[in-house]
Amino acid sequence: MRLQTALLATAIATLCACGAPPHDPAATPTQGAEAAPAATAPLDQPAADVPPATADGQATGSLRVGAPAEGTITFAGFGPAPFGATDEAVRQSWGGDLGDAKPSEPGGCYYLIPQPLGAEGYRTAFMIEGDRFVRVDVRDASVTAPGGARVGMTGDEVRALYPKIEEQPHKYDPAGKVLRAVDPAGGQGVLVLELDKDGRVSAWRVGVPPQVDYVEGCS
């Protein structure tokens, strides 16, 4: 009886071993193979397809940021970077590539400009002087100035938005004008809008004096 029991157990074990699939090292999943790798954006992704900087200054999915998000440029600064902040604070607020410009001398004036720079030149630029953020220059009709003005508006439309606004002659265009509005909340920020010969806003800038009144920018 014991001999029969032993023989039966041996036969069962042999059958189980024969029915088991062979071990194939190539078929063993490697660590992390369960999840497919996340898709990455192509390097030649059109700038128009890239999400703009968000209100909290974070870029979403790419270092190419098309334009500042609505409401991020104010009389006080750009997003969480107030006028007086550092170069690095502006870069973090933008969330994209602002180039690698540096001043020609310590404390000198220079611009952080979103990259890549198109043939038409800058559309938004951030002025740094004295190692501090002092001004934003805009030539983009899709970007709203603090208070509601935009590139392309008429002078009358702008005057209707700002109850206290000064009008000055344009330094280089005899047919143009410059409109200047101070922060209605009493802050140091000043908005300067340039009107072309047709009486429409061609560009605007917001910042703190004296830099906001530099007609030639950093030149």
Give the model's pLDDT for residue 140: 95
Give the model's pLDDT for residue 21: 40
pTM above 0.75, yes or no: no
- The predicted model gives 197-202 an average pLDDT of 95
For residues 18 and 126, which has the higher predicted lDDT (pLDDT)? Answer: 126
Give the model's pLDDT for residue 65: 67
Q: What is the mean pLDDT of the chain?
A: 79
Domain boundaries, given as residue ranges, for the chain:
47-211
Is residue 12 very low, low, confident or very high in pLDDT (cuts 50, 70, 90)? very low
- The predicted model gives 132-149 an average pLDDT of 97
Judge whether 203 and 124 are in contact, CB under 8 Å. Answer: no
Give the model's pLDDT for residue 10: 45
CATH fold of the domain at 47-211: protein yfey like fold (2.60.460)
Indicate the range of 89-93, 174-178, 187-191 predicted with least confidence: 174-178
